[in-house]
Structures are given as C-alpha cells and as structure tokens.
A and B are shown apart, each in its own frame.
Chain A
C-alpha cells in the first residue's frame, strides 16, 4: 500500500516536470528596474514562492528587469520597514513586497504592496485569501495589478495558453493541453492517436473548439466545455472540417468546409446549428478569424494566386485584400483593438511572423527563424505567441507586438504547436 502511494507520488512528480519553462531570449534595454522582495511567510511554509512567480512574470513581459533576490541589500516585508537608500543605491525604481500567512483553516492570506522608490511612497496595497492551489492565481493577479499600475496596460499573466503536443513515443501521440501563461499547471484535455488541430478559445474562456481526426480518421470540429469535460461534434461534413474560430459574442463559429468541392468559409450558429456559406470562389478559402466588431472576418485565400489575407464583410459579403507584401501571407490573427493584423509571412523560403498596422498600412517582420507559424495575440494586445522549431522539434515562442522582446517556452518532451492565447479569465 505504502509502495503504491509512493509510486503515485512519483507519477505526480513526473507530471509536474512536464511543465513548460520560459526563458527570455531578447529583452528591452529600457526595461524598468524593480525589486520583488521575497514575501514573509507565517503559519507555515507556502507551497509556492509568490514573489518568485511575480518576478518571473514581470521579467517575461520584457518590460521589467527584476533584481536578483540575492542582490537585495535588505528584505523588508512591510512598507514601514523599507530602507529607501538600499534600493536607491541599486537604482531600483519600484519595490514589490508582501506577506503570506497560512491560516488555521489551511487557507492562505496574501498581502502585497507596490512602492515608488523615487517618491518614497506606496502606490498599491491589497490582499487575497485562497487555498494552496490558488497561490499561483494570486501571484498572477498581483503581477497583473503591478503591470497595469506601471505600464497603463492590463496584465495578461492570469491567462492560459491552449496548444497541441505531439510525442510519437506515446500510444496516443496527439494531446490537446492548456497551461498558465507562464507554462505551469499544464492539463491535458484530450489524447488521441489521430491528429488534433486548430484549437481556439471561446470569448468567455469556458469552451474550446478544435479539429480532431479521432475514430474514423476523418476531421470533425468539436466544441468542448473545459470544466465539465463535455463536448459535442458541431460539424462532420464530407471533406475538410477545419479552422474553427468563435465569434466575439461566443454564439457562432467561423470555420472551413469543403463539402461543396473547394474549401470555403462558413459560419455556424451554435444554438440552431445553422450553417451559412460565406465565400464563393474556386480557390482555397480558409483560416477565418473574427474582427472585434463581430460583423467581419479576415481569412486566407488563394484567389489571387498564392495565399494572401482578405477581409470579408458579413453584412454585404464584400471581400477586400489586406496583404500585398510578398507571395505568401496566411493564418492571420487580430489584436483586440482590431488595429494590427499578425500572420505567417514567407520571405526567401523562410516562414516568419509579420505584423501589419491596418491604420497606418505599415508592415514589419517580428521573428527571425525559418518555421514560425500559428501566431496568437495576448488579450492585452502586447505579445504574440507562436509555434517555431528548435533542433527539429516544435517549441513555442512569444514576441512583443513591437518586436523588441522575445521569450521561448521550451518543451521537455515531444513537440508543442498551435498555441492559442486565452481571453482574460
């Protein structure tokens, strides 16, 4: 019995090791220096190092340069204990500090404060109460608050990433998983012997849609409720069933079907199951994404020869070409404000992530490798996560929308691909 328990514990330990780990490969020179002081622990050692999670989050955003905790000259845990010159001499601009108290009922109370070193004044203070398993959520929430206070942009540290993994050594090589935005707490939603593709979030973050070839080896689009695990097939038409995308109000999917001969864009009403065909060309039309207005889509079409991004107005069916830079632009995503289009751009046989400012018409390439794909924009619009290759295996990277910050999320085993950044949760 004891042996069994030990084995189970070991199995759990292995699962923890499967988490993604993040490294910043390119940061900003003007990143803000901030000291995140280890939080005081009382009532027992907490399961998570809250300050370390906050520091890692801020570091990963590329906009902050957290001081290594070993370089701290003093470790205040309350605002009144701060010795300002210890932080001024280290050129710190901000201090995050706090306390984690384990209560008699086993729950944790976490308090934090944000201080401005130049003014010697407190900027934020708040507290949370929750279980041990919520310590990471509390650390992410604190990170979000600090990030927003200092940059003016809401933080997206409390969000999730949905992605597909592939490991041929598993009996079911394909898995659909999601994890915290920092790669921790990975959970498997679905395992399959057949490919899983094109995962997408509902706008409320409670459901995901994806393509699965399970069972008969043919593609089907599923909508899957994360909490209950309940799911249903929403399309299983002859030919392609692909590229599902939830509308901004969550009531419809845009998707690709080839049941009439060639791949066309459709919308599916999830209440009535009514399918409406939205494009009509003899070429490939696929990879639809909704614009924030809920009345128009961007999609990939080969109607002009090679693949380019077009915009479709659902009200009148009109189509307008958006991309003109180079012979291959595909699989677009759109920032939450609708201003930037990000997509896969081929240049000299290399596939990289491009961004087009739809207001100014400017275009930039954000990445520098050969096989970058599946860009997905964070809900606060600051970062784009995408799939790339390293040493012949698929890994995830994220780049800031201005291209100045790049971080890598290496996978311990197998391949990771097709990341989809969740909405705010």
Chain B
C-alpha cells in the first residue's frame, strides 16, 4: 500500500470515528423524558417472532430501548408460537434478574398466570397489543393495548367519504373469532349505517391472514357477489396476491380500506391506472405499538416520566383520494414485507427482515 492510500484510509477512519462519537454525543443529549436515572435491565418477549411484522416490531423495540442509556442490558426471547415456551421465557427472564419485561402475549389469557407471578415478584411487566385479561396493578404494571375499534372507525369514516350513498362491504380478518376482527367490526358498525351491507358471513370472512387462503376466499366472494364496492381487511399485504382475482373475473378492483405495507403500496401504484375503482386507504399497521410499551416499561423501571398515551391508536397513513396524511407509498428497491408507516427507517427494516 502506498503512502497516499494509507493517508486516505486514515482520513476516512478518523472521519468515521468523529461522526460516530458525534452521533453518540447527540443521542446522549436527546435522552427522552421517559428515561429516568435509575439503572435497569429490560427484556422484550415475543410469543411468536417468525414473520416480518414481528421482526420490524422487535427492531423498533430495540431501537427505543437504545434511546435510554439507563438500560444497561437488553434481551430478547421468541416463544416460537409455543405457549409453554413463551411462559418459561417470561419466568426465565425474571429469574435471571431482568428488571423490566415487555411482553407480546400471543396466547392471550393463557399468559396471565406467568405475567402475574412475575409482577408479584416485584418486576415491571408490560404486556402489549394482545389482551391478556387481568387488571393493572394486580396482574401487571401496565397494559398497552391497541385500539382496533379505532381502526374500524377510521376505515368507516373513509368509506363514508368515498361511498356516501352506501354500498356492499366485504370485511376480511384473520382466524375465526379473533378479537381484533371483532373490535374492528364494532368500530365499522358504529360509523356505517344500514345502507352499508356486509356481504361476508358474520362477523367476517375468515382468512387466517394466510395469502393463499385469502386468495381462495376472495375468489369465492367475487363470484358470489355481483357487486363489491369496498373491501376492508386488517392485513393489507396478504391481499396483494388475491386482488388480481377481480381482473381475472373482468371486474375492477374496488376501493380498499386496510393496513399499510410496502408490497401493497407498490401493487396500488402498478394497478390503479387500469382499475378505475381501486382507491386505497390505510391505517398504520402498528409496529410502533411496541415503542409505547417499551417507553412505559422503561419509565416505570428507571423512574422516568410516564408517557401521556395509555393506548396505541394507529393513525391513518395513506389515502389515494386525498393524499393526506400521505399519498400511497412504495419503495420498489426495498423488500415488500416492510411497513412504511413504521417509525423505523425503511432501510433498517429491510435489515431487520434480513433482506
């Protein structure tokens, strides 16, 4: 290596070091109010971590934790969809001496005994998003739910805007009887009057959030109902493969009220020109629910200021009609399985989902 190259290399390293140190200094200067002075350790526990939504969520949780220098150690465990493992993860983390636990209790109330025992042992434990039953202060420190009913209301209002005279609504949700779908329906019904006819079987068409099943279900519904004016779905990206079924049956893709996802945004951009009725409205898919839960856990564990919000309300995100709060977003250079609504930068999400 000649001298000039060495010099260049040295200069680059120094510059990097300066930027890194400067960045660290900057982060330190911006210690958020929910981060108190007391040192603590924190663990994020997932019931099932094996999809892109969870990976983006986990990365968001980690990023939030890193904002608070009082958290000396951060750990993560994935229950891998096994309730027994999720329970033993919680108990194991508590036994290891972790001070604060943030829990995605996929198994619902089945997680409550483990959560309660950890809470009784004097730990800070914050379940989020999935209701686990129990009461704040008795079974856990704080529950940070997500208002799915609010999502339903948001969708309902938009539907009223694009279809003021009423119309046929097709509502798709996940597994049979899942509480998220039921809450959303409550929200929808609170806004939409009888002039809006739900053409699916009550309470919603079951898709298990599986793209293949969604495709089958949608095909059957399109054939059955001569006119579908708007589709409501709580997992937009799983519809991407199914929507071309409309085109195949010689119909335009109808209006769609759902949650956001990069693949869906790109699909809209590619197809809205040839489908005049295809209007798209999304609410944020809610990866940032974890941030609020982590902030609460950190505030309680480190003696920081408690956040003002007690429940996560997914904001409206994209609207192809008004362009507000955002026009439809699409990043073709990044994986389809990321969520532009997340506060985590799209590039970091791409890294989190390993692509």
A in complex with B: no
Chain B interface residues toward A at CB < 8 A: none
Chain A interface residues toward B at CB < 8 A: none
